[in-house]
Amino acid sequence: MKAFLMYPDRDFDLERDLPPNEADLSSDLELGVLLRAMAGGDKYLFEVARHGLHSYLTSPPEIVYRQHVLADCTEQPEVVRDLYDVAVSAITEEKGIWGWLGRATPETILHRSRQVMQLYLGMFRRLRDITDAHAAGFRSEGFTRLFAMLARELDDEYLAEMEACIGELAFRRGTLISGRLGKGGKGMGYVLRRQPEQSWRDRLPGMNRSPGYSFVIPERDDNGMRALSDLNDRGLNGTANALAQSADHIKAFFGMLRAELGFYLGCLNLRDRLAATGMPVGFPEPAGPAPAGPSRVRLSARRLYDAPLALSLPDGTAVGNDLDADGKQLIMITGANQGGKSTFLRSLGLAQLMMQAGMFVAAESFTASVAAAVFTHFKREEDATMEKGKLDEELDRMSGIAGQIAPGVLLLCNESFASTNEREGSEIARQIIRALTEAGIRIIFVTHLYDLAESLHTQHDPAMLFLRAERRPDGSRTFRLPPGEPLPTSYGQDLYQSVFRTADQAARA
Amino acid sequence: MTTALQFSSILTEQPRQAAGRADPAVLADLNLDQVFAAITRGRDEYDLMPFLKAPLHDAQAVEYRHQILQDMQDEALSGALAGFAGQMRQMRKYLALSQELRYRYQKQEWFLEAADVYRDAVSTLAAALAELSPASRGFTAFRRYLADYTQSEAFTGLAAGIAKVTGALASVRYCITIKGSRVRVTRYEGETDYSTEVQRTFAKFASGATRDYRIGFRNPADMDHVEARILELVARLYPDEFAALDGFCARHASYLDATIRAFDREVQFYAAYLDFIAPMKKAGLEFCYPAVSADSKEISVRDSFDLALAAKLMPAASAVVRNDFQLRGPERIFVVTGPNHGGKTTFARMFGQLHYLAGLGYPVPAREAVLFLPDQVFTHFEREEDLATLRGKFEDELIRIRRVLDQATPDSIVVMNESFASTTLRDALFTGERVLGQMTRLGLLGVYVTFVDELSSLNEATVSMVGTVVPDNPAERTYKLVRKPADGLAYAAAIAGKYGLTYRQLKERLS
């Protein structure tokens, strides 16, 4: 029995390794905030969401398969939560059934397995009730198949058979156990041990004349019960083993159901949180990879925003951006400090990941070619282990990316190579951008390096797009990124004046 | 005339002042948090961090510590101190047992053990100090204190009590008879060892070595209720001996002298550092006692190195690069430029570390050093962006430097590392000029690591230091910083080549 809610033809594997750059993606794209919103405080859902988010589905039909399942979930959230509750109850109540302290014996294994099976029988009945009442309301291929399977495999006849089986395995007084008799009609293997004789002490002269004090410890003898229990266990061994193994198989089914439903439940949680911010969410339109070159690449969005940021802002005042970058191999983003460049970059990376996980995205609409993988190269704080300088650290990371990267990858760079001076940082970046874009890698690059942006802009390459963070004449920011050529300053002087003026005013106050 | 030599603390001659508390962020920036973690490792019980976070601002107080450390470099003295510390630690362990355990006689027996270890620790240290005659003001005063204390009624009375009770308890002998669930406790009457009876019985079968069937038992200090019951009965058999123990514990409940307890903790401030630097000295690195002043800002240092880096490089610490620097006349601030990974950050950290460590009264990592005792050390290092603050990085940096400049005095030290690197060259120059201008007006000492060459010749207070490279291999760094005008050569492209990231290399890697 398989759930098949995540893939049309295979299981959702929580043991699968996450991509090697998962830690980078997580810190650069603030995935923790997103995953926590999906988990809603549940550690298990967090792990499920984490694995689901890094699915990297590259086939549009597989993406749409999940979108349809998720759409069913959105329409009937209570039913999905009920199903999930059954799976969770099965797993957690099984854990709550006491086994044995210390060494297991066949008797304790059998006893516990019977209780577990009784529990699972109840859970199967609940699944059937949900199936009977609600299966007709689901339209997606994933759910239709799941409900059909539950109705078929857990029909009334089977549930009755299971109940009878558990009943027959009830503990019986006077369990009949076969055995062999040894010499003198005694059972084989029993060894009687004599307590060591202590009478030598009594024979010591003067023992009783010696002054002394005595006390008595309460006595118990468990040897007899242990022997009987041992005999009983020999008989029960094989049956207990078979029952325990079957219980484990059922447990795996509930575990899979829990994981796959858990992912969609996480999506519902996130959807609720985003809805509360007043920002839109929508299913993206995935396009296949574009082997024929940059002119076929699709990337466009309406009101695309950074979900983690929207979730941390008090009143959902996040700003959405539009983007039209079909056919673009390189997007350079320049402009004012704090103009929303990093935010925009994160929102793009996140939308790509979410789309390829079969999720909705934080945008009114989003259309994009699938990427083989998403890589990030963001500026970092200095390495506290002192082994490398900052530029070395950046180059080392880029070299690591170059070792894993392949055509079709989307690379997001945030202030890369700003740790050396502008002239040299620009030269390093230029060579890397040229080599990677020629190899079929798409790059979105946020930079202050005017020299770099300007030199690329003057090439007038139609596969390059230049965006610039807006700044009004009064110096304030709109946090929008319309197309615009690079300008030779980032308005840091405004910020300097504002910080030192505010502080002066505060000091005077 | 003993008042002049009155001993108060091995850390200071002065009555204790309210100690300044170093900012943890500054210690982290200078990697002193790593150094301090290494220094205090295995010494948690002494709680040394408060001392490490309270640098001195007075040259005489620093001199007091230098003398003590010089005395402790004598192996005989440091050995005696280590022995003393070990015994005091053992004493605390016994006292803890005495506290934790439940049964009365068990508690008292451990208390007696603790007192005996203390008596031995104090007598041994007093004898060692009398023989070694250390020269420092601190140890001279402490030696006198110990001599007086060991002659006092408090101490001699304690020693006499221990001798009496220990002797009495050592003479107690008893037997336990177990029959079924019955246990009988008696005085020992000369019964023979049953194991030797058994050996004699079967001696004629013995032949060579055989397997050891004995089971290893755990021996917890605690006892179960049966053992405790037995001990109670033994005590009833020997009432006089146990009454003596009872009396001893009541009489000497607070035997531990407060000054000796404080000494045991405080002397670890020195021992910890000497233990920390000993392997580095063995590896060929030099440390010196700096000449310190709270007035003169003319400083100079020869062959200095980053202590955290050297500790990390152990046992190959001699590979650490050493640097010289000096400030004369109106010079106040080193502006450091040059290639990446060229030792700039290390230089900045080293500068901050030297002054901080000098304030603690420690020998500093240098062959020679003349240093200033600052009122406070400030740092301004690059930080990672924090989504929670919702502020841009550059703005965050400006706010942080504003805070530093508001608190800094002419006697402060400010270490700035790659500040304002998140913005453009123009903005970094604009901001750097203003910040350096304000630092110069205060007249404070500092280091300013930057990629903006223009800042290195801003005014007469700035001194340009530049990282150097090996002439025939520009990608290799010497990590040596020299005093010369900034030359704008960072050789970044060469370093890109080292990582296989030039256009040509990448084309090959991706094909």
Q: What is the DSSP string of A374-439?
A: EEEEE--PPPTT-SS-HHHHHHHHHHHHHHH--TT-EEEEESTT-SS-HHHHHHHHHHHHHHHHHT
| Model confidence pLDDT, tens digit, residues A3-48 | 899 999 988 988 888 999 999 999 999 999 999 999 999 999 999 9
Chain B residues in contact with A450 by the CB 8 A cut-off are 424
Residues A269 and A289 both lie in one domain: no
The reply to whether B130 touches chain A by the CB within 8 Å rule is no
| Model confidence pLDDT, tens digit, residues B151-208 | 999 999 999 999 999 888 877 777 666 565 565 666 766 655 543 433 433 343 344 4
Interface list for B 148-187 with A (CB within 8 A): 175, 177-187
Residues A443 and A484 both lie in one domain: yes
Indicate the residue among A276, A310, A336 that finishes a domain. Answer: A276
Instruction: For an interface test with B, give the residue of A446, A448, A449, A452 to mutate (most B CBs within 10 A).
Output: A448
Segment A103-120 mean pLDDT: 82
> How many beta-carbon contacts under 8 Å exist across A and B?
208
Least confident of B96-100, B249-253, B438-442, B443-447: B96-100
Chain A residues in contact with B419 by the CB 8 A cut-off are none
Indicate the residue among A223, A244, A276 that finishes a domain. Answer: A276
Query: Cβ of A211 and B428 within 8 Å?
Result: no
User: Which has the higher per-residue pLDDT, B254 or B217?
Assistant: B254
Q: Which of A216, A420, A493 sits opposite B427 (nearest CB)?
A: A493
- Given a cut of 80, whether residue A235 has pLDDT beyond it is no
Which residues of chain B form CATH 3.40.50.300? Answer: 283-510
pLDDT at position B291 is 96
Residues A299 and A150 both lie in one domain: no
pLDDT at position B235 is 86
- Given a cut of 70, whether residue A209 has pLDDT beyond it is no
The answer to whether position A179 is within a domain reads: no
Q: Which of A210, A390, A418 sits opposite B189 (nearest CB)?
A: A210
Give the pLDDT band (50/70/90) at residue B470.
low
Chain A residues in contact with B503 by the CB 8 A cut-off are 431-432, 434-435
User: Which has the higher per-residue pLDDT, B149 or A384?
Assistant: B149
- Given a cut of 80, whether residue A191 has pLDDT beyond it is no
Least confident of A111-120, A139-148, A166-175: A166-175
The answer to whether position A48 is within a domain reads: no
Q: How far apart are CA B457 and CA B331, in angstroms?
A: 12
| Model confidence pLDDT, tens digit, residues A456-477 | 999 999 999 999 988 777 767 7
Segment A206-218 mean pLDDT: 61
pLDDT at position B196 is 44
Residues A159 and A293 both lie in one domain: no
Residues A356 and A265 both lie in one domain: no
- Given a cut of 80, whether residue A236 has pLDDT beyond it is no
Helices (H), A439-489: 450-457
pLDDT at position B390 is 52
Give the pLDDT band (50/70/90) at residue A196.
very low
Least confident of A154-163, A271-280, A437-446, A490-499: A490-499
- Given a cut of 60, whether residue A154 has pLDDT beyond it is yes
The answer to whether position A302 is within a domain reads: yes
pLDDT at position A195 is 34
Beta bridge partners, B177, equal B184
Print the domain residue range for A465: 285-508
Residues B124, B84 contacting (CB under 8 angstroms)? yes
Interface list for B 22-61 with A (CB within 8 A): 28, 31
pLDDT at position A178 is 31
Interface list for A 174-193 with B (CB within 8 A): none
For residue A324, which phi and psi values (nearest 5 degrees)? -130, 100
Tokens of B208: 């060579």
Q: What is the mean pLDDT of chain A?
A: 82
Which strands form B291-293's sheet, in the order they lie side by side? B291-293, B368-372, B300-304, B323-326
pLDDT at position A219 is 60
Residues A268 and A329 both lie in one domain: no
Q: How far apart are CA A205 and CA A182, in angstroms?
A: 45
A281 CA: distance to closest CA in chain B (Å):
22
The reply to whether A372 touches chain B by the CB within 8 Å rule is no
pLDDT at position A442 is 94
Residues A146, A273 contacting (CB under 8 angstroms)? no
Chain B residues in contact with A391 by the CB 8 A cut-off are 340-341, 492, 495
Whole-structure pTM value? 0.57
Segment B351-356 mean pLDDT: 97
Least confident of A194-203, A277-286, B400-409, B468-477: A194-203
Least confident of A226-240, A371-385, A435-449, B496-510: A226-240
Give the pLDDT band (50/70/90) at residue B435.
very high
Residues A305 and A159 both lie in one domain: no
Segment B213-236 mean pLDDT: 61
Interface list for B 205-234 with A (CB within 8 A): 226, 229, 233
The answer to whether position A249 is within a domain reads: yes
pLDDT at position B2 is 38
Q: How far apart are CA B143 and CA B139, in angstroms?
A: 6
pLDDT at position B227 is 67
Instruction: For an interface test with A, give the residue of B34, B35, B177, B452 to mutate (most A CBs within 10 A).
Output: B177
Structural domain count of chain A = 2
The answer to whether position A201 is within a domain reads: no
Beta bridge partners, A324, equal A300
- Given a cut of 70, whether residue A208 has pLDDT beyond it is no
- Given a cut of 70, whether residue A199 has pLDDT beyond it is no
**A464-469 vs B182-187, strand pairing mode:** unpaired
- Given a cut of 60, whether residue A184 has pLDDT beyond it is no
Residues A248 and A292 both lie in one domain: no
Q: Cα torsion at B225, B230, B233, B235 (round to 10°)?
A: -100
Segment A104-116 mean pLDDT: 80
pLDDT at position B372 is 96
Instruction: For an interface test with A, give the residue of B226, B386, B398, B491 to mutate (most A CBs within 10 A).
Output: B398
Tokens of A35: 């995953």
A341 CA: distance to closest CA in chain B (Å):
11
| Model confidence pLDDT, tens digit, residues A294-337 | 568 899 999 999 999 999 887 667 788 999 999 999 999 998 77
pLDDT at position A295 is 65
Q: Which of A313, A405, A448 sits opposite B424 (nearest CB)?
A: A448
- Given a cut of 60, whether residue A171 has pLDDT beyond it is no
The answer to whether position A198 is within a domain reads: no
A319 CA: distance to closest CA in chain B (Å):
14
Query: Cβ of A214 and B431 within 8 Å?
Result: no
pLDDT at position B9 is 92
Segment A73-83 mean pLDDT: 96
pLDDT at position A225 is 41
Interface list for B 356-395 with A (CB within 8 A): 381-385, 387-388, 390-392, 394-395
Residues A260 and A393 both lie in one domain: no
Give the pLDDT band (50/70/90) at residue B280.
very high
User: Which has the higher per-residue pLDDT, A144 or A251?
Assistant: A144
Interface list for B 422-461 with A (CB within 8 A): 422-428, 430-431, 434, 451-452
The answer to whether position A178 is within a domain reads: no
B329 CA: distance to closest CA in chain A (Å):
31
Give the pLDDT band (50/70/90) at residue A182.
very low
Indicate the residue among A255, A276, A297 that finishes a domain. Answer: A276
Residues B106, B228 contacting (CB under 8 angstroms)? yes
The reply to whether A448 touches chain B by the CB within 8 Å rule is yes
Residues A250 and A332 both lie in one domain: no
| Residue B287 identity (one-letter amino acid) | F
Q: How far apart are CA B98 and CA B79, in angstroms?
A: 29
Residues A241 and A298 both lie in one domain: no
Give the pLDDT band (50/70/90) at residue B415.
very high
Per residue, the 3-state secondary structure of B400-448, as one string, reads HHHHHHHHCCCCCEEEEECCCCCCCHHHHHHHHHHHHHHHHHHCCEEEE
Segment A474-484 mean pLDDT: 78
Segment A254-259 mean pLDDT: 92
Q: What is the mean pLDDT of chain B?
A: 84
Instruction: Please give the CATH number for the structural domain made up of B283-510.
Output: 3.40.50.300
CATH of the domain at A315: 3.40.50.300
Please tell me which residue of chain A has the smallest CA distance to B233: A213
